[in-house]
Structures are given as C-alpha cells and as structure tokens.
Amino acid sequence: MVVIGEHRHTQVKIDLQAIKHNINEEMTRKDPLTELWAVVKANGYGHGIIQVAQAAKQAGATGFCVAILDEALALRAAGLVEPILVLGITEPEYAPLIAEKDISVAVGSQAWLDQAEKVLAANHVAQPLHVHLALDTGMGRIGFQTPAELAVAVKTLAQANSPFDFQGIFTHFATADQADDTYFTHQLDNWKALIAVVPELPRYVHVSNSATSLWHQACNGNMIRFGVALYGLNPSGTDLSAPYQLQPALSLTAELSFVKKLARGKSISYGATYTADQDEWIGTVPIGYADGYERRLQGFHVLVAGQFCEIVGRVCMDQMMVRLPKPVPVGTKVTLVGSDGDQEISLQSIADYCGTIHYEIACGLAPRLPRVYTE
C-alpha cells in the first residue's frame, strides 16, 4: 500500500514489544491447552495488520481472526501460514478461493451452507472448506438462534460426502466488559442449550474475546480471540480493572509547523469559534480530521514540551492550532497520544472527551499517517 504522508512530521508509532508483553501476560493466565488467536481486523485496530500479526506470532499466537476475507488474504500474501478465521459473513461465491487459501469462515445459516456447497461442486474444489458455526446467543449480529436450526446444520456437516470441515463453533458475548453479569449469564445459558444438540464438538470451541478472557476466564473454551487487549487497551474502558498491566502500543506524535503571536481579539479557524482574550502564542500542528483526529476535539489538549496545551478553534481537515504557554521553535515535538515527561494522553482520555470508545479512535487513524514500528 502506498503511504501518502511520509514527508510530513506526523506519525503513529507502534511499540511491538508492548504487543508481545500483553500476549505474554495472557499466555501465563490461560490453560496451556487453550490457544490464543490474535484479532488483527481493521488493520490491526489501526496498528497495522501485518506487523501486528508477525509480532503476535512471535509472542505465541497460533492463529488469527479477521473481519473480512480480504484481510485474511493479506495475511496469506504476507507469508503467514497459521489458521485464519474470518469472523464476518463472507459471500458463498468466494468458497473456492477460501478453500484454496486454507482460510476458515464463520457460517450462520443453513442457506449459506447450501449455496456454498453448490459453488464448490460447480468449481470441482477438492480441498475441504473450514467452517466455524456462529451461534447467536444474544449479540443479535450473526448466527444460528435455535437448537433446531443448528441441529440441521450440524447434520449437513456430518454427511460423508460433505465438502466442509467442521472446524469450530463459537459465540460472542455482548456484555463481558460490564460489572453486571446478568445478560452475560443469559447468553451463557443460551450457549449451553445450543451446543447440547451438537453430538461431537469440533476442534475449536470458542466464546472468549478479550473481555471474556479477562473477567470470565472459566468460559474460555479451547481458544481465545485476543482482540483489543492485545493492543494494551482495556475492553471495559475504565469500568473494570484488568488482572494484569496492559501496555498501550500506540502513540501519535507531530511537530509544530508554524508558531506565531496572536493579538488579543483575533480569532482562529473556521467559524471563528475561538477569540483570544489576551495576546497569546499559537502553534499550528499538521494533523486534522482527515487523519482521523476528530473535529470535535476542539477544547481538548496535546502535550508540548511536557505541558498540556489546549486545542483552540476548530480542528481543520489537515491542520489544527494549539495555545502555547510561551514561544517555542518550529519543529518542536507535539504528543497527541502517549507520554511526554510526567504527563500522558491516552486513547481512553480522547475517547472520553469525544463520548465514544478507544476502539473507534484507534481504528479511525487514517492510512496517510505513517506507522513506525519499534521493539
């Protein structure tokens, strides 16, 4: 992929050692027979799919989870041969390609199996197609909802001439990151009722995302889909404490591109929403909402020389302005995510200001921000 932004001093830095630390911590807690698959969808939650996958493999991950087929194909093209599960529904027309590339897919209906079987037969595909049956226990997204419909699918997969390899069965919990476990227990009961109609469970039985594994470890099954915690982010935000120290892997830095003295009474940016009530030093930072740095972050802050500096005026598409405590040189480092001196700005604090979750902030960081990797 062509990176457009290499000649601007604004970049995302990814600490691969932090990713390995987070995996190592989870590896020490899990059952030795339970596998850890790294969830690297959405370009590794904005961190970089290939680099994260390679680091996760080095730390002990034995497989990968993605959201769409193209992400799985990217991992294969990068030379990764481990099992890969596509968690979203993939169109049956791609069944021959999926089988050829030895990729596993989520299946949530008998209709999908019927259509995929026809496509595989028409294309004379010899390789088995690996499938994980998705069970909708209360997430309401994809999957079999009743024991009766699940039993039909399991019977289809058990046929002697089936083109499918019944490799896994799974569900996804909607509230595993909440202190109140009422709905979690409801889903767990639904899961037990559904799998009761499966005479012989497949190789992989998995229900645990990061939150489930962190706070409901007894439910892990024999595979963990290790997602947001892989990147050092707490799935619950600030509601629950993680059982070990998560190390955030991502930081975002820039440099001041322009510094000026702004006279009292003058305004800044679109809409003139900020007017100086005294003479002020203003720095321009070459980043904006086209980079995924939200327009609604006006009034938030960055770090310059270890001091918090308020974002004044509206964040523009490619630039924004901050109020400086004193004149500093052009080229001075600006920390938007990460630490500078004794101060820190976390993805969580940005998410709190925006009224959202840190997942959205990380995933929203645009491709034109170069990713720089360190150990």
Q: Is 183 a catalytic residue?
A: no
Confidence tier at 2 by pLDDT (50, 70, 90): low
Q: Where are the domains of the chain?
A: 31-231, 250-374
* pLDDT of 1 over the 70 cut: no
d(CA 118, CA 132): 19
- pLDDT recorded at residue 112: 98
Confidence of residue 348 (pLDDT cuts 50, 70, 90): very high
Please state, in angstroms and rounded to a whole number, the distance separating the CA atoms of residues 143 and 132. Answer: 10
CATH assignment, 250-374: 2.40.37.10
Size (the chain), residues: 375
- Flag whether pLDDT at 3 surpasses 90: no
Q: What count of Cα atoms within 13 Å lies in the side-chain half-sphere of residue 111? A: 5
pTM of the entire structure? 0.96
pLDDT digits (tens, 9 = 90+) for 54-78: 999 999 999 999 999 999 999 999 9
Question: In 3-state terms, what secondary structure has residue 147?
Answer: helix
**317 annotated as ligand-binding:** yes
Listing DSSP states for 243-299 in one string gives SS-----EEEEEE--EEEEE-TT-EESGGG-EE-SS-EEEEEES--GGGT--GGGTT
pLDDT tens digits along 239-297: 999 999 999 999 999 999 999 999 999 999 999 999 999 999 999 999 999 999 999 99
- Tens of pLDDT along 78-107? 999 999 999 999 999 999 999 999 999 999
pLDDT in tens, 360-373: 999 999 999 999 99
Has 270 been annotated as catalytic?
yes
Overall CATH class of domain 31-231: alpha beta
Residue pLDDT, tens place only, 9-60: 999 999 999 999 999 999 999 999 999 999 999 999 999 999 999 999 999 9
What integer pLDDT is reported at residue 173 of this predicted model? 98
The percent of residues above 70 in pLDDT, for the chain, comes to 99
Annotated catalytic residue within 155, 192, 260, 270: 270
Average pLDDT, the chain: 97
Taking a C-beta distance cutoff of 8 angstroms, is the pair 233, 248 a contact?
Answer: yes
pLDDT number for residue 4: 83
Beta strands 204-206 and 164-170 are parallel
pLDDT > 80? residue 301: yes
* 141 in a known ligand binding site: yes
* pLDDT at residue 130, rounded to an integer: 98
- pLDDT value, residue 277: 96
Which residue among 20, 41, 274, 359 is the active-site one?
A: 41
Between CA 78 and CA 180 the distance in angstroms is 42
Q: How far apart are CA 160 and CA 156, in angstroms?
A: 9
